[in-house]
Structure 1
Amino acid sequence: MKVAVIGCTHAGTAAINNILKLYPQVEIDVFEKNDNVSFLSCGIALYVGGVVNDANGLFYASVEQFEKQGVRMHMNHEVTSCDVNKKQLVAKDMKTNEITAVDYDKLIITSGSWPVTPPIPGSNLENVLLCKNFAHANEIIARSASVENVVVVGAGYIGVELVEAFEQNGKNVTLIDSEERILNRYLDEAFTAPVEKSFEQRGITLALGQTVSEFAGTDVVEKVITDQGEYKADLVVMCIGFRPNTQLFNGQIDMLGNGAIVVNEYMQTSVADVYAAGDCCAVNYNATKQPAYIPLATNAVRMGTLVAHNLVKPVLAHPGTQGTSGLKIYNHNIASTGLTERAAAMSGLSVDSAYIEDTYRPEFMPENALIQLKLVYETDTHRIVGAQVISDTDFTQAINTISVCIANNMTIEQLALTDFFFQPHFNKPVNYLNQVALDAMAKENAKAAEGLSKEHAVLV
């Protein structure tokens, strides 16, 4: 069996590793535009900030390792055409322009994503950079060394991590985003306000609710112009999101409106013998029960693993995702899973929430810490669909627990009565996960009682 793989970051690497274990006799051809594989882009901010000194630590597989196992690695190769019905692809060596044509039995599309790059005037100026791959990371490191004023455009996870890294490197930092809050897609205001306060206390300029209209300068960027002001900039890093890298398959494979390839639970696309995994495709989102585009390394690794297991026949189904993610900014330990109330409303779900802000240990303990925790649930079924946490102490693993709750369609009642241990060093007699669910139950019981009271009044 001949297998062709397009792209080799998280999903591609996971697929290849597992194919080699499951089917050691398979012939594998890998086509990758970069000269490396398995780059952990989530570590770019740590690299920029000097937390990670050796960039080689941001890789967990190598071209040489795969080649020793018989994989034909076509590095610096761009796939220029692919006929999924004829099972043929053509690739060009980006250094020599040499053309390679390959026939295959199975195709694995793990082409990933690429940063969104709106047509802003001045985008072609020197020092206006993207933040995605190893080359970008090295470029950011090299160019930031001699600059003073850095502007980050985009207040998602990568953007805010870079802001922290640049500030700790002594730069004057401005963060621009069209939304009124940072991390707007993932967290509610109670969870973003502490981070914004920390940024402002450290002299970071938050230019929120503003849209970039132009990058200005002569050859090299000198300032960023928005619809509300101007900001000095010796370096600009664009972090406004990602789009699926799937243009090659337009009209050949079913996709969502944004270009994300639609796959079933076995990672099969709408075309036989064509599989997709990672940032190039959609995944079933358990919070909404619908396909969604959630580009996370965790999703990519799982999906790539599943491609390998289902390559010959469908044997292992994808359990779906909750989009669970975590973040550490300064002293803030943050994590979220599933939907915020705003995202739930946009998805057509009727939801409510419970929120607690409390110490996590009994009051008699000499040392304690505050935890903020929010639980989002459907009002009609009481099914849990989301959660968020923030604290100076690391409680992020609690969100992994709620992620499991969402995956298994658990209700607030089930979480409220789940058996969690008690020990004063770690929690209170009523664990904070139990407590937030109990508060949700109390809220729903109060609604029901109010409804009965109104009904009784009408009858009387």
Structure 2
Amino acid sequence: MKIAVIGSTHAGTAAVKNMAHLYPEAEITVYERNDNVSFLSCGLALYVGGVVEDPQGLFYSSPEALQELGVTMKMQHDVEEIDTEKQTIKATNLVTGENVLDSYDKLIMTTGSWPVTPNIEGIDLGNVLLAKNYNQANTIIDRSKDATKVTVVGGGYIGVELVEAFEKAGKDVTLIDGADRILNKYLDPEFTDQVEEDFRNRGITLAMNETVQRFEGESGNVQRVLTNQGSYEADLVIMCVGFRPNTGLVKGKVDMLENGAIKVDEYMQTSDANIYAAGDCCAVKYNPTGSHAYIPLATNAVRMGTLVARNVMGPTMKHVGTQGTSGLHIYDLNMASTGLTETSASMMDIHVKSVTIEDSHRPDFMPTAEKAKMKVTYDPATHRILGAQVISKADLTQSINTLSVCIQTGMTVDELGFVDFFFQPHFNQPWNLINQAGLAATQ
């Protein structure tokens, strides 16, 4: 059995490691465009900010480690064409220029995603950088040494984490986003308001509801960013406006969403029986709605890659779907979300109800107690839980993992009020915040 894997970050690495163990007789070949595998891009801002001093800690595997498992690693090879009828691959060795023609019995697409690069005048100026992989992270670190005014374009997770890192490094930081608030894909306004207030109090300029129209500069380097509403001086710009799936190789050859994300079934198989897909290049079942959704997260990628390995020889283990569960730590605030928010539900034209609980994270008789806010969103007709959010200076983010399980299993808010949670004054209230949300929703 010849198995070809294209791409080896999270999903690809997970698939390869598991397949090498499960099918020692298989001939597994990996094609990877970069010179490294398994880079944790979710740690990019920590690396840029100096929290992670040794970047090797952001890799959990290596080409050498995979080779030791008996895998053929074709590093720095760019796959240029896939013939799904002949089941062949054409690639180029980026170091030698040599052309490679290979065949496969099973093909695994783990090509990931790439930062969206809008067609903006001046985007090719020096010091207008992308933030995705290890080499880009090193470039950002190098260029930021001499930068004083940094502009981050895009208020998603990576964008706000980089804003924090640059502000802590003493830079004059501006954050631009076309939406009316930061983190709007993950949290509702009452949560993001708290983060934005903290940003402004630290001197960070927030330019919300603004669209970048062009970059200007002299001597080949950027000097200012012009939006539809203003002008911002900048000697370093980081573009973080989102990601798109890397699926051009199989466009028109397998079923996709409109954005190009490959659709897979519960066994990670595409519409072509010999092609599987996992990670940021594909879309999977989103449990709150039951439909396919594109949710590029490292956690999803590792799970999907592991499932590909289990199922590539035949359907064995089903994917249980995803809630898009994620968490974030910014300054001294801990926040996390899962499933639908009121904002995302409104964008999908889904009618929901929500209940919000605000309380101390533990009893007031304890020496300290932090304010906490939790919001649970549910279907008003069935009372099935659809989403949840939490924010606090105390780390209550694991509660969102619990609510992710509740969504996955179809629990209702009625049941949520009486789930068995422990009470211990060091950690929580006699009525857990999760219980409180369930009780409040049914009053």
Please give the root-mean-square deviation of Cα atoms over the aligned residues, in Å.
Answer: 0.8
Amino acid at match of 1:14: A
2:210 corresponds to which residue? 210
Amino acid at match of 1:40: L
Q: Tell whether 2:55 aligns with 1:55.
A: yes
Q: 1:85 deviation in Å?
A: 2.1
User: Could you list the per-position Cα deviations for residues 125-156 of structure 1 after superposition, in whole angstroms to 9, with x for gaps in the alignment?
Assistant: 00000000011000000000011110000000
2:240 corresponds to which residue? 239
Instruction: List aligned pairs for 1:63-102, cutoff 5 A.
Output: 63-102=63-102
> 1:225 & 1:175 partners in 2: Cα distance?
13
Q: 1:277 deviation in Å?
A: 0.2
1:264 corresponds to which residue? 265
User: Could you list the per-position Cα deviations for residues 78-97 of structure 1 after superposition, in whole angstroms to 9, with x for gaps in the alignment?
Assistant: 10100112110110111222
User: Could you list the per-position Cα deviations for residues 231-268 of structure 1 after superposition, in whole angstroms to 9, with x for gaps in the alignment?
Assistant: 01100000000000001111111100000000000000
Q: 1:361 deviation in Å?
A: 1.9
User: Could you list the per-position Cα deviations for residues 318-337 of structure 1 after superposition, in whole angstroms to 9, with x for gaps in the alignment?
Assistant: 00000000000000000000
2:373 corresponds to which residue? 372
> 2:79 & 2:151 partners in 1: Cα distance?
34
- The question of whether the paired residues in 2 share the 8 Å contact of 1:153 and 1:159 is answered with yes
- The question of whether the paired residues in 2 share the 8 Å contact of 1:115 and 1:132 is answered with yes
| 3-state DSSP of counterpart to 1:282 | strand
Instruction: List aligned pairs for 1:104-119, cutoff 5 A.
Output: 104-119=104-119
> 2:124 & 2:366 partners in 1: Cα distance?
58
| 3-state DSSP of counterpart to 1:80 | strand
> 1:399 & 1:296 partners in 2: Cα distance?
16
Instruction: List aligned pairs for 1:272-421, cutoff 5 A.
Output: 272-421=273-422
When the two structures are aligned, how many residues end up with a matched partner? Answer: 442
Q: 1:346 deviation in Å?
A: 2.4
- The question of whether the paired residues in 1 share the 8 Å contact of 2:17 and 2:69 is answered with no
| 3-state DSSP of counterpart to 2:187 | coil
Show structure 1 runs of 4+ deviating over 4 A. Answer: none
> 1:333 & 1:237 partners in 2: Cα distance?
24
Amino acid at match of 2:62: S
User: Could you list the per-position Cα deviations for residues 33-79 of structure 1 after superposition, in whole angstroms to 9, with x for gaps in the alignment?
Assistant: 10000000011100111000111111000001111222111111110
Note the residue ranges of structure 2 that are not aligned, 5 or more in a row: none
Instruction: List aligned pairs for 1:135-284, cutoff 5 A.
Output: 135-218=135-218, 219-284=220-285
Amino acid at match of 2:369: N
> 2:296 & 2:258 partners in 1: Cα distance?
15
Q: 1:364 deviation in Å?
A: 2.6
> 2:181 & 2:285 partners in 1: Cα distance?
28
> 1:424 & 1:144 partners in 2: Cα distance?
45
- The question of whether the paired residues in 2 share the 8 Å contact of 1:67 and 1:73 is answered with yes
Amino acid at match of 1:130: L
| 3-state DSSP of counterpart to 2:53 | coil
TM-score, normalised via structure 1 length: 0.95
- The question of whether the paired residues in 1 share the 8 Å contact of 2:361 and 2:394 is answered with no
- The question of whether the paired residues in 1 share the 8 Å contact of 2:184 and 2:343 is answered with no
> 1:163 & 1:362 partners in 2: Cα distance?
34
Q: 1:362 deviation in Å?
A: 2.4
Range with greater deviation from structure 2 (270-279 or 61-70): 61-70
- The question of whether the paired residues in 2 share the 8 Å contact of 1:324 and 1:336 is answered with yes
> 2:363 & 2:252 partners in 1: Cα distance?
60
2:28 corresponds to which residue? 28
> 2:123 & 2:23 partners in 1: Cα distance?
46
- The question of whether the paired residues in 1 share the 8 Å contact of 2:155 and 2:240 is answered with yes
Amino acid at match of 2:306: T
- The question of whether the paired residues in 1 share the 8 Å contact of 2:20 and 2:70 is answered with no
- The question of whether the paired residues in 1 share the 8 Å contact of 2:153 and 2:237 is answered with yes
> 2:404 & 2:170 partners in 1: Cα distance?
37
> 1:80 & 1:271 partners in 2: Cα distance?
19
User: Could you list the per-position Cα deviations for residues 158-195 of structure 1 after superposition, in whole angstroms to 9, with x for gaps in the alignment?
Assistant: 00000000011111100000111110111011111121
> 1:122 & 1:362 partners in 2: Cα distance?
55
Amino acid at match of 1:4: A
> 2:17 & 2:397 partners in 1: Cα distance?
30
> 2:426 & 2:42 partners in 1: Cα distance?
32
> 1:30 & 1:426 partners in 2: Cα distance?
46
| 3-state DSSP of counterpart to 1:197 | helix
Note the residue ranges of structure 1 that are not aligned, 5 or more in a row: 443-460
2:126 corresponds to which residue? 126
1:453 corresponds to which residue? none
- The question of whether the paired residues in 2 share the 8 Å contact of 1:288 and 1:347 is answered with no
Instruction: List aligned pairs for 1:431-442, cutoff 5 A.
Output: 431-442=432-443
> 1:165 & 1:436 partners in 2: Cα distance?
34
Range with greater deviation from structure 2 (203-212 or 338-347): 338-347
| 3-state DSSP of counterpart to 1:151 | strand
Report the identity percentage. Answer: 60
- The question of whether the paired residues in 1 share the 8 Å contact of 2:3 and 2:26 is answered with yes
Which of the pair has more CA radius of gyration? Answer: 1
